[in-house]
Amino acid sequence: MTIRPREQTENNKRQPMEDSSKISDIQQHRLKTVYEHLEISDDARKRLIQPKQTVQVSIPVRMDDGSLRIFDGWRVQYDDTRGPSKGGIRFHEDVTIEEVTALSFWMTIKCSVVDLPFGGAKGGICVDPKTLSRLELERLSRGYVRAIYDFIGPDRDIPAPDVNTNATIMGWMADEYGQIARRQVPAVITGKPLGLGGSQGRVAATGRGALQVLDIWAKRSEKSPQDLTVAVQGFGNAGYHFARLAHEAGYKIVAVSDSKGAIYSRDGLNPEPVWNHKHKTRELKGMVYCDASVCDEADFTELTNEELLELDVDVLVLAALENAVTKKNAEGIRSALILEIANGPVSPEADSILADRDIEILPDVLVNSGGVIVSYLEWVQNRSGDYWSEEIVETRLAQRLEREANACFQLAEDENVSMRIAAYMQGIGRIAEAIDHRETQKYFNGQSN
């Protein structure tokens, strides 16, 4: 792996592309851009252009009314050069094989960026889980494991939760795998309930890791959390825990949103009662809330998700789904910094527009890596049988992110590239090095020792 001299990168100009909602287009554009800055072997490029293995399954489920439904599911193992593949399983009505493939690529990069001994994978089932009863959801979860049993395992591919899946679903899946194997195999799935071999600190790990990356950026930029206003798009598990921890650290959270709408308060929000209210009423809209240290009466403005994206804040946190910011709305973004907790929330075309406007982006493959880091720690605990306290888990998460995030920041500074390019250079460089250690065309042609 060689970093290209700067003069070979056309002065680090970004290559524009037609804006597309296809995640595969984003994936290919990311690779093309990084290859302008990073010289790697043809062998590595060929290995990274497509997934190692794709499994498509049909999952029959007996519904509560006696009818039979067939659900489409996938598991894509993109690369396992550096270790068994790792990645979540999402339940969503819009899941496609293309989306799962691209997400497995991102997992490959993410695991390498933070130097985990994993490759990347992803799984998905095309279903709206909100339309299923709990019994139907369990049957579907167990049926998926039966369908992909031969392709997963602690030393082969380790699933985890993702969009619309949680610890309970992971527990069902791990239990189903164990029943088929006729033995306890807790390390086959991460993100499980504590009583089934889950790890302390896993639930808040993605949000906690994202905050740590923001803290490192603030420190390097000589900014104080108390002086930074933050808007959070996406108030699910990751967005909530980020907002809660950021509020505790002194950042001013002025807006949060979910799929139904957003709320804004110039004086700041306390995310915890907002979260509690959301789970009682299932919505943010119309919520009456006041932080006693700020005001005596509720003082909120209700916004649309689009209006939240255009707020004049210091930090815009994207914690919802892919393509939240595209060329259609990039010009309206007014934050100085974007923190990507979701996967692929900024399209390549929007990347270019935002860079031209000097809006900095902290990329998803680094920012949301806290979840997979603690998943790795859960896997280690499952295999050793030695389970750690929450304090130990959080310390090990912090140590790894401190090291790897600072390496990305330093690489971006040294090579005069964006943080996204630096993160991809760090991740792809490590994968390419591992591929090359298996030797390349030059070796077999006698051109190298």
Q: What is the pLDDT of residues 174-185, one digit of tens each?
A: 999 999 999 999
As a whole number, the mean pLDDT across the chain is: 89
Instruction: Specify the range with the lowest mean pLDDT, choosing from 280-289, 298-307, 313-322, 383-392.
Output: 280-289
Q: What is the mean pLDDT of residues 356-379?
A: 97
Closest listed residue to residue 55, CA positions, set 152, 197, 180: 152
Active site residues: 122
Domain ranges, ordered by start, for the chain: 47-196, 205-367
pLDDT tens string 147-168: 999 999 999 999 999 989 999 9
pLDDT tens digits, one per residue of 404-443: 999 999 999 999 999 999 999 999 999 999 999 887 777 7
Give the pLDDT confidence score for residue 23 in this predicted structure. 57
**205-367 belongs to which CATH class?**
alpha beta
Q: What is the pLDDT of residues 29-88, one digit of tens each?
A: 778 888 888 888 999 998 998 999 999 999 999 999 999 999 999 999 999 999 999 999
Question: In the beta sheet, which residues pair with residue 61?
Answer: 69
SS (H, E, C) 399-449: HHHHHHHHHHHHHHHHHCCCHHHHHHHHHHHHHHHHHHCCCCHHHHCCCCC
Please give the pLDDT value at position 12.
38
Q: Which residues pair with 315 in a beta bridge?
A: 230, 337
Domain 47-196 falls in which CATH fold? Rossmann fold (3.40.50)
Q: At a CB cut-off of 8 Å and minimum separation 6, what does 55 contact?
A: 74, 75, 76, 148, 151
In this chain, the answer to whether the domains covering 47-196 and 205-367 adopt an identical fold is: yes
Give the per-residue pLDDT at 299: 64
Residue range 381-391: average pLDDT? 97
Please give the pLDDT value at position 260. 81
Q: The whole model's pTM is what?
A: 0.89
Three-state DSSP class for residue 164: coil
110 pLDDT more than 80:
yes
